[in-house]
């Protein structure tokens, strides 16, 4: 389905904010442009749910999260940055593996199965995209995924 991506991201973040129980602030840095992508909305919502939930789960109380969209050539990059515990460099690629969790003891307390990012990776790759992580321990983490931009808007905006 053809989707106005910035509108879509605003809706997803709005809904997150409404349900937020933690003392966390979500900031947005979103362009004021109509960028169209061809996506399965439910699946990309699932990806965002996973990544934003992680950002919240691995952040301290009072933490701030930034949701950004940047256009790069024929791609849209979506970046979710937190100020949480971070991920050690040698674990950065493994976090996308099924059932992989950094620091088992810590993660167990926080709950989860270690499937969230593995599913996110599968869903993004099914959209001809890619997802990766940048992180600095005890500073925070950025998860970025890219999705191909539609060349031309087709039909009408809904």
Stated length of the chain: 158
| H or E element in which residue 64 lies | strand 64-72
Segment interacting with ligand ATP (CB under 6 A) among 20-28, 29-37, 49-57, 67-75: 49-57
Residue 144 contact among ligand ATP, Mg ion, none, beta carbon within 5 to 8 Å by kind: none
Instruction: Kindly tell me which of 35 and 58 has the beta carbon lying closer to ligand ATP.
Output: 58
Distance of CA 18 to the CA centre of its chain: 18
SS3 44: helix
Closest CA to 98 of 78, 110, 80, 112: 112
User: Which two structure tokens, joined as six digits, stand for 118?
Assistant: 């593995």
Interface residue with Mg ion, options 5, 52, 54, 101 (CB under 5 A): 54
Residue 153 CB, nearest approach to ligand ATP (Å): 33
Closest CA to 63 of 28, 23, 17: 23
How many of the other CB atoms lie within 10 Å of CB of 54? 21
Footprint of ligand ATP on residues 100-119 (CB under 6 A)? 100-102, 107, 112-118
- Cα 18 from Cα 149, distance rounded (Å): 29
Instruction: Kindly tell me which of 36 and 121 has the beta carbon lying closer to ligand ATP.
Output: 121
Residue 144 near ligand ATP by CB under 6 A: no
x/- track of binding to Mg ion for residues 112-141 (CB under 5 A): ----x-------------------------
- The residues binding Mg ion (CB under 5 A) are 54, 116
């Amino acid at each position: 389905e053809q989707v106005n991506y910035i509108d879509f991201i605003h809706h997803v973040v709005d809904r997150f904010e409404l349900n937020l129980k933690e003392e966390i602030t979500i900031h947005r840095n979103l362009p004021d442009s109509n960028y169209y992508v061809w996506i399965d909305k439910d699946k990309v919502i699932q990806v965002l749910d996973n990544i934003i939930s992680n950002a919240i789960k691995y952040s301290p109380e009072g933490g701030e999260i930034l949701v950004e969209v940047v256009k790069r050539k024929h791609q849209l990059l979506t970046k979710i940055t937190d100020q949480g515990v971070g991920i050690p460099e040698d674990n950065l690629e493994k976090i996308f593996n099924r059932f992989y969790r950094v620091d088992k003891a810590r993660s167990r307390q926080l709950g989860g199965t270690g499937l969230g990012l593995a599913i996110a990776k599968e869903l993004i790759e099914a959209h001809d995209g890619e997802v990766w992580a940048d992180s600095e321990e005890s500073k925070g983490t950025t998860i970025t995924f890219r999705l191909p931009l539609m060349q031309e808007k087709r039909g009408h905006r809904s």
